[in-house]
Structure 1
Amino acid sequence: MSDSSAAGHEGPARTDGERLQKVMAAAGVASRRASEELIVAGRVQVNGKVVRELGARIDPETDLLAVDGVAVQLDQSKRYVMLNKPTKVISSMSDDQGRADLSPFVDEYEERLFNVGRLDYDTSGLLVLTNDGQLAQVLAHPSFGVEKTYVAKVSGTVTAQTLQRLKQGIELEDGPIRIDRGKLITRGASDGASMVELTLHSGRNRIVRRMMAEVGHPVVELVRRSFGPLHLGSLRLGRTRELTKVELGQLLTLARQAEDEKGRL
């Protein structure tokens, strides 16, 4: 993915490639006529630069397209799927220990899909499956913390003071860690458990379980409800669905921004 740090500047037209409005229509952005209106209005960026010329051409294989700052995938061979992963399933396409894996969830797709990052064996929730290796590598890299939200059922009565402590940060064996946001859903239910919602950027192994154990509230059940701009919504446990165009645009934009940040470091 190219650097898009020059967003907002006019870009020079190229003479090779395909007409921009044709590529936009093929990608499902809008009809050719509507795409032309978007171009003239200055709402289309190619490689981070605004393109207003109706005669502009791009190479769908190498150029990056965005509309209103939101990335558009031009490679129609790429597939992006959301899975609500059940517990007792390992985040891998195969397992040498014979445990249940992700392979049954991708059988219906022609493409060879793989998971973006991991969810613990005993954790359920949102997992992204794709054949876009570049996007997967960016979003799963430890140096780029995608915001994730979890709902956890934990032992004991969680207090506002406990959540504040998690926001301020605690020390674990592999270094300090803190949550971005925390919310108490239920406290001290009849079974002596509490439900909390935690949002954090860390991708460290079993981080939510380790954090809650450190503050005296071991996790009983854990669900990941969101990953970056994606939300589990009403997707049933064990089911998959393809990302919408809006969701895909948001996810690709996130990945491109991450690469831009990496390139400027």
Structure 2
Amino acid sequence: MTSDNAADDGIRLQKVLASAGVASRRVSEDLIVAGRVRVNGTVVTELGRRIHPETDLVAVDNVAVQLDNTKLYLMLNKPAGVYSSMRDERGRTDLSYWAEQYEERIFNVGRLDAETTGLLIMTNDGDLAHTLAHPSFGVAKTYIAKVEGRVSPQTIAQLTRGIDLEDGPIAADKARLMTSASDSTSSLVEITLHSGRNRIVRRMLDAVGHPVIDLVRRQFGPLHLGTLQIGQIRPLTSAELGQVLTLSRDGADRNAENSADEDSRTDPATGPEKNDGGR
């Protein structure tokens, strides 16, 4: 009799799905037969299919499934005054208070400056952290800024059209005015961008004449802060995790395709193809 865990053949797909919490084994079989399960991008409909959870990538209804139960994915609503570091070298308040609540060695995905509050992902999944944090993958982040003065529609248009900063031009993906105080002392602005440059939202708003009073990150990719209170941390829901893993895998695939395209344009004799910038 052959075991489901036969080392040479891998593990039956429906058992892997059940272990990952997708559904019971019986329902997982129905999903497979219905053509709703992909392994390494290919639809699988055979109930006898075996996979290796350590290396194979599985998705259900085109949403990625995490097969490694040792991975931890958390959302923190970071308070003001906390530095985005596991151990601040100057002894300032850092993320170790939350990290020490878990046995796993977790770390933050990207950074928020000390005075910015809001959504920060913490995980022990290095591959996902790299994909979500690296600017080349273009993960969008949405912030709400309370700024000095009354922001005009022209200023909102300027933010999306683009402005020049000391480290180069930058444009918001989206921006909108939420409220403007009747006495013109402050405004609320929502701004979305995928840049990972240091203090970029603060610098953009300062450049258009509206210094930031308070700044909160409300959204990171598909994740929303929702009602999570400042200083609270929680695991991602299964739906959130599926969205984040799908985003991470899609970004990694695009990056690999772009690298392949660059390699295909490289002539071993002359080196990489160069763009002269239209000069």
Q: Tell me the CA shift for residue 163 of structure 1.
A: 0.4
Alpha-carbon distance between aligned partners in 2 of 1:182 and 1:138, rounded to the nearest angstrom: 25
Asked if 1:49 is matched to 2:45, the reply is no
Residue 224 of structure 1 pairs with residue 217 of structure 2: yes
- Corresponding residue for 2:226? 233
Q: Deviations over 1:147-202 (max 9, x none)?
A: 10000000010011110111111111111111111121111354701111111111
Structure 2 match to 1:248: 241
Q: Partner of 2:251 in structure 1?
A: 258
Q: Does 1:106 align with 2:99?
A: yes
- Contact between 1:158 and 1:188, CA under 8 Å: does it hold in 2? no
2: distance between equivalents of 1:176 and 1:188? 30
Aligned to 2:24: 31
Q: Secondary structure at the match of 1:143?
A: helix
* 1:142 lines up with 2:129 in the alignment: no
Match status 1:67 vs 2:77: no
SS at match of 1:93: coil
User: Could you give the per-residue CA deviations for residues 112-150 of structure 1, whole angstroms, max 9, x where no partner exists?
Assistant: 110000001110000000000111011111212211000
Q: Quick one: which of 175, 179, 183 aligns to 2:172?
A: 179
Structure of greater relative contact order (alpha carbons < 8 Å, 6+ residues apart): 1
Distance in structure 1 (CA, Å) of the matches to 2:182 and 2:110: 33
CA 1:79–1:142 in 2, change beyond 3 Å: closer, same or farther?
Answer: same
5+ residue gaps, structure 1: 1-14
Q: Which segments of 5 or more consecutive residues in structure 2 lack a partner in the other structure? A: 1-7, 259-279
User: SS of 1:176's equivalent?
Assistant: strand
* 1:79-228 aligned within 5 A: 79-190=72-183, 192-228=185-221
What is the aligned partner in structure 2 of residue 22 from structure 1? 15
How many residues align? The count is 251
Which one has the largest radius of gyration?
Answer: 2
Q: Is the 8 A contact 2:38 2:62 kept in 1?
A: yes
Q: Tell me, what secondary structure is at the counterpart of 2:202?
A: helix
What whole-Å deviation, never above 9, does each CA across 1:27-58 have from its counterpart, x for those lacking one? Answer: 00001111011101110000011000000000
Aligned equivalents of 2:137, 2:56: Cα separation in 1: 23
Counterpart of 2:274 in structure 1 is: none
What do residues 213-234 of structure 1 show as CA deviations (whole Å, max 9, x unaligned)?
0100011110000000000000
Partner Cα distance (1:154, 1:93) in 2? 30
User: 8 Å contact 1:150–1:223 — kept in the other structure?
Assistant: yes
Q: Equivalent residue of 2:135, what SS?
A: coil
**In 2: Cα distance, 1:258 partner to 1:218 partner:** 33
Aligned-partner SS, 2:178: strand
Higher alpha-carbon deviation: 187-196 or 98-107: 187-196
SS at match of 2:243: helix
Separation in 2 of the partners of 1:189 and 1:62? 58
Shift of 1:107: 1.8
